[in-house]
Amino acid sequence: MKVSSEILSLVPYKTGKPISEAQREYGLKSVVKLASNENPLGPSPKAIEAVEKALKNQNLYPDPSCYELVHLISQKWSISSKKVAIGNGSNEIIDLLIRIFCEPGEAILTSKAAFVAYQVCAQAARVQRFFTPLKLDFTLDLEAMAQFLVESPDKGRVRIVFIPNPNNPTGSYVGREAVRQFLEKVKDLPDLLIVFDEAYNEFVRAKDYSSAQDFMTQFPNVLVIRTFSKAYGLAGFRLGVLLAPDFVVDLFNRVRNPFNVNDLAQVAARAALSDDDFLKRTQEVTWLGLDQIYQGLNDLGLKYVPSQGNFVLFDTQRDVVQVNEALLKRGVILRPVMNYGFQTHMRMSVGTHEENQKALQALLEVLKEVKPK
């Protein structure tokens, strides 16, 4: 069977190790998993209650248009319902945007060490990937991106730019003014969409950050992706949101599978969106947890990147394969990020106070066991 070389050389997206797998492999009873930037508080209690009630309706197909959820988002996030589409996680949205707007041989542009799904989805669609370098402080370089789009010999092939803001795995962000200047520079380029992936939007504390949604009216090529997997605690349900110009929403709804978002996910998302207390509690736990992790890493003498997400990238200064193995033996799953080009760094998601404590304690022991590089 003939298979495209792009498909044969595809490296699948590496997810965090499931707890059950670590238990099986290492014979562990209790495991702390801080590897996938999930919400340590679980789903919103209102979402759980609503889902339990909706179970008895699951003989029926879900609403293919997600009508109620779309209208609730429109109201809560102050945007026309014509500019809202729902995906099976933001991952599906990334995948479909590439399939809709890029022909094989055309390209996406993103940054090195940007969230890896853009490049995986592009490669699967035989779409070229271009990357600008990361700045020394681990932030995305929007000036380099604009320069690529205006000056590079390949500029005409780029159909979509992906800007994760904040970025995973670095936790870094780009501020409002840098975004505005970038959009000014590229606003007249034809057939180009600028996608801001704001999966971690709700965790941002930086005062000079704003959602790119604020730029959608002024710059009609701006799209925003949001998710219910992080702050809303619904990763298992799979629900992402696309905010985009009407014509993009229209095309997206033509191409997606009719029942891409199941009923329980819709029910859970509607309830979670109305649970302001849960969101507030999630933010508090995340921000306290980040400060706890910073303090722990400072005590261990490890450098980290200040984060606007619910995770921290830090430098173990050691061979990360060995560090990871030693942590797993102690029942702690963090995320090595070699696939992002970092040989000694790991990413730790914020857990509960106790989980963070356990992970930091394990790290203390492991640093004594594994020699620095």
Ligand X SMILES: Cc1ncc(COP(=O)(O)O)c(C=O)c1O
Q: Which residues bind ligand X (CB under 6 A)?
A: 37, 89-91, 115, 164, 168, 197, 199, 227, 229, 235, 240
Q: Which two tokens stand for residue 57?
A: 């309706």
The region that residue 233 occupies, defined by phi over 0 for left and psi between -120 and 50 for alpha, beta otherwise, is left
Q: Of 39 and 128, which has the nearer Cβ to ligand X? A: 39
Q: Of 32 and 121, which has the nearer Cβ to ligand X? A: 121
Distance (Å, whole) CA 167 – CA 72: 27
**Dihedral of CA 334/340/345/351: which sign?**
negative
Query: What is the smallest separation between the CB atom of 237 and ligand X, expressed in angstroms?
Result: 9
> Which residues are within 8 A (CB) of 282 and not within 5 positions of it... i.e. 6 or more apart?
39, 41, 202, 231, 232, 233
Distance (Å, whole) CA 149 – CA 21: 43
Q: Of 50 and 337, which has the nearer Cβ to ligand X? A: 337
Query: What is the smallest separation between the CB atom of 48 and ligand X, expressed in angstroms?
Result: 18
Query: What is the smallest separation between the CB atom of 46 and ligand X, expressed in angstroms?
Result: 20
Q: Of 66 and 367, which has the nearer Cβ to ligand X? A: 66
Query: What is the smallest separation between the CB atom of 318 and ligand X, expressed in angstroms?
Result: 25
Q: Of 241 and 366, which has the nearer Cβ to ligand X? A: 241
With H, G, I as helix, E, B as strand and everything else as coil, classify residue 163.
Answer: strand
Q: Which residue is nearest to ligand X (CB)?
A: 89
Residue 156: C-alpha distances to residues 71, 78, 120, 159, 229 (Å): 37, 34, 21, 8, 34
Query: What is the smallest separation between the CB atom of 31 and ligand X, expressed in angstroms?
Result: 20
Query: What is the smallest separation between the CB atom of 280 and ligand X, expressed in angstroms?
Result: 21
Q: Give the CA angle between residues 116, 118, 120 to the nearest 5°.
A: 70
Q: Of 227 and 260, which has the nearer Cβ to ligand X? A: 227
H-assigned helices in 87-164: 89-101, 117-124, 142-151
